Structure 1
Amino acid sequence: MRQEQATLEVIPNPAFQHKEQVATPEQIQRLELSGILQTTLVLDQLLQIFSQSIRQWVPHDGFHYRYQDLGLQIRGGERAVHSCHYTLTLEGESLGELTLTRRKRFSEKELETFETLLCSLLYPLRNALLYYRALESAHTDPLTGVYNRTALNSAMQREWKLAQRLHTPLSILVLDIDHFKAINDTYGHPAGDAALVKIADCLRQGVRASDIIFRYGGEEFVILLSNTDTAGATLLAQRLRRRIRDMDCSDIAPNLRITTSIGVATLNHPEETPEQMLKRADDALYRAKRQGRDRVVTA
C-alpha cells in the first residue's frame, strides 16, 4: 500500500486576531468544520462526521482511526490502495492515528488541505476521548479491568437486538470460582483479589476479540458470545475451564489450585429475553455446582 506519513501537532492559534483581518478560504473551511464537529462526543460518530464533511475538499473512500493506549480501532468506508497517515498530537498529548484511503494517490495540495482540516478535529477528538474514558471507567470493574454488571445490562440488550436483526445465534456463559470463600479464609482477601485478577486475565487471553467479559458478582463472571451457537459456546466453556484449572497460582499462595464451574445458554427463540437467557445459564451453573464443580453444564 502506498502511504504518506506525517505527524501533526497543533499549537493553538486563533483564526482571527483582529476584526479587520480578512478570512482566507482555508480559515473559513476550518471554522465551518469546527462548528459541525462540536455536535457529538461519541467517538465513532465524530470520525464519521469528520470523514463525510471533508470529502468535498479531500475526496476519499475510507478511513481508519487507531488509538493503541485504549485498544481502539474505528473504520469507515472502504479500504483502498493509496493512503495518507497522520499521527495526531495536541499540546504534547497523543490522540491516536488517522489514515485516509482511496484508489488514487493524494496530491500535495490535497495533503496540505487535509492537514489544515485536521486542525479542526483535534480539540473535539480530545474531548471525545475524555468522554470515552469516563464511560469506560463507569462501566469497568476497578479490580479486574473487565466490564461490570451495569455494562452487562446494556450489552445484552444490544447484542440481543443484533442477533434478532441478523438472525445469528447468541450465547452466554456464567462462570463461578469454586470454593472462593475458602481461598479468602485460608490465604486472606488479598489472595482472593489476586485470584480474581488472574482469572480475568486468563479469560481475556482465551476468548475472541468480539466476546465481552463482565464481572457479574463477587466471584462470578459472565461472557457474552455473539454469533455463537450452543456447540461453540460449550466448547469455549470447556477450554476456559481447563485453562483456569491449569493456571500456575504459586505467585498467590503455595499449592493453590483454582477450579471453576460454568453454565452455558443459547438464545432459544425470538421471544426469549436476554434476562431469561441469563437465568437459564445461571441455573445451569448451579447444576454444575451440585454435580461436583469443575465442570460445564449446558442449559
Structure 2
Amino acid sequence: MSQTFAESILRSFPRGISSGISRDNQPLPNSAEIALTPAELAFQLQTTLEPESVLGRFSRVIQLTFPHDGFSYDHPGAGLHVSQGRLSRHSCTYTLSVNGEDLGELRFLRGRKFREQELAEMETMLAGLVYPLRSALLYRQAVQASQTDPLTGVYNRKALDQLLTRELASFERGGEMVALLVLDLDHFKRVNDTLGHSVGDRVLKAVTGCLVEATRACDMVFRTGGEEFVILMRIARPEDAAPAAERVRAAVEYCAAVQDAAPGQHVTASIGVALACRRDTPLTLFDRADKAMYEAKRAGRNRVQAQA
C-alpha cells in the first residue's frame, strides 16, 4: 500500500461483520490480540448516550491495542463534529455504517504510520463501536426533536427552559450578562383570518429566517407558541440589549420575505427586553421581558420596550 505524507486509508465497514461476533459468540478473526472482544467493548460503551462520550471512551479503551495521538469524527447529517487529542502526521479514516445507515466518519491520527495488522484489528474493534454509537445518535436526534419547533425548525419552549437555566447559572458564576427578548407579531390573527392559516405558517417561517439572519451565531432563537418568539443572547454591556432588539424589530418590518409572505398586510413585531439579575430564575426573567413586550403593544406596537 502506498503511503503519502498524510496517510489516509479509507475503509467502509463491512456489512457482513457489522455485529462483530460470530454465531457461536466468539470474536471475529484477526482479534486475538485485542484486549476486549467487540461484545465486551460494546458493553463498555453503553454506559452513556452522548456521542461525544461514546467516541471518547472508545478512544481510551483501544489505546493500548491501537495507539493514537488523537481522533476526529464528523457526521454532517447530524451536524456533529468531535475532535480530541492532537494533530499528527499520519491518519487512517473509517466510514461507519450499519445496514446501510450512515454513522459518520472516524479518523485516527498519530506520528508514525499505521501497520496493516493494526488496521485489521481496528476493523474488528469498530464492531464494538457502531451499535453504541448508533444508539447515541438516535438518542441525540430524539432529544433535538423534542426541543425543536416542528414548523420553523428553531428551538421550542422546552429548550428555552433548559438553555435559559444554563445561561443563568453561567451568569451567576460570573459569566457574561444575559438578555432576553420576547417578540410577538402584531395583529397576526388578522393575517390568519384574512389570508388563511397556511399563509400564516409561511409568515412564521419567513419571520424565523429573518430572526436567524438578524442575530449572531451565538444567539439562540426560540418559537414559544403561536406568533411569539424569544431570543436569548449574551451581551457585554447592559446598554447593548436595546439596540440589538431594535435591529431585530427593523429586520422583521423591512424583510422582503416576511412582507411578501402576507400580501396586503404589513407584518411588524413588538419586542420586550429584560436583563438578567442575580438570583433570577427562567420564570422571573421571562416574565419581565413578557411584561415589557405587552407594554410595547399598549404603546402602539412595532416598537421595543425595555424593562422599567
Match 1:144 to one of 152, 173, 184: 152
Q: 1:230 to 1:19 in 2, by over 3 A?
A: closer
1:158-179 per-residue CA deviation (whole Å, 9 max, x = no partner) reads: 2222333353222221111111
The number of residues matched between the two structures is: 297
Percent identity of the aligned residues? Answer: 41
Normalised to the residue count of structure 2, the TM-score between the two structures is 0.84
Residue of structure 2 equivalent to 1:257: 266
Amino acid across the alignment from 1:254: P
Contact 2:13 2:123 in 1 (8 A): no
Counterpart for residue 12 of structure 2? 8
The structural deviation recorded for 1:195 is 0.8
Structure 1 residue identity aligned to 2:22 = F
**Does the 8 A contact of 1:10 with 1:91 survive in 2?**
no
Which residue is 1:107 aligned to?
A: 114
Amino acid at match of 1:252: A
Q: What are the within-5 Å matches in structure 2 for residues 85-124 of structure 1? A: 85-102=93-110, 104-109=111-116, 110-124=118-132
Whether the 8 Å CA contact 2:272–2:289 is kept in 1: the answer is yes
81 and 19 in structure 1: CA distance in 2 versus 1, 3 angstrom threshold: closer
Native 8 Å contact 2:268 2:302 kept in 1: yes
Distance 2:70 2:239 in 1: 37
Residue type matched to 2:276 in 1?
A: L
| 2:58 is equivalent to residue 54 of structure 1 | no
User: What CA distance in whole angstroms lies between the structure 2 residues aligned with 1:200 and 1:15?
Assistant: 48
Using a 3 Å threshold, how does the CA distance of structure 1 residues 280 and 78 change in structure 2: closer, same or farther? farther
Q: CA deviation at 1:83?
A: 4.1
Contact 2:221–2:229 under 8 Å retained in 1: yes
Asked if structure 2 preserves the Cα contact closer than 8 Å seen for 1:43 and 1:129, the reply is: yes
Aligned-residue offset at 1:219: 0.8
Counterpart check, 1:164 vs 2:168:
no
- The structure 2 residue matched to 1:175, chosen from 170, 174, 183, is 183
The answer for the alignment partner of 1:192 in structure 2 is 200
Query: What is the CA distance between 1:17 and its match in structure 2?
Result: 3.5
| TM-score, structure 1 as length reference | 0.86
The 3-state SS of whatever aligns with 1:100 is strand
Deviations 1:220-244 (A, max 9, x none): 1112224654344334322222221
Return the alpha-carbon distance in structure 1 between the equivalents of residues 137 and 64 of structure 2: 26
Residue by residue over 1:234-257, the C-alpha shift from the partner in whole angstroms, topping out at 9 and shown as x without a partner, is: 343222222211222465342333
Classify the secondary structure of the residue corresponding to 2:221.
Answer: strand
Counterpart of 2:275 in structure 1 is 266
8 Å CA contact 1:82–1:101 kept in 2: the answer is yes
What residue in structure 2 maps to residue 295 of structure 1?
A: 303
Which of 46, 52, 59 does residue 44 from structure 1 map onto?
52
Q: 1:211 to 1:42 in 2, by over 3 A?
A: same
Q: Which string of whole-angstrom CA distances, capped at 9 and with x for unpartnered residues, describes residues 1-52 of structure 1?
A: 9362524223243533347999722384433321111222222222222222
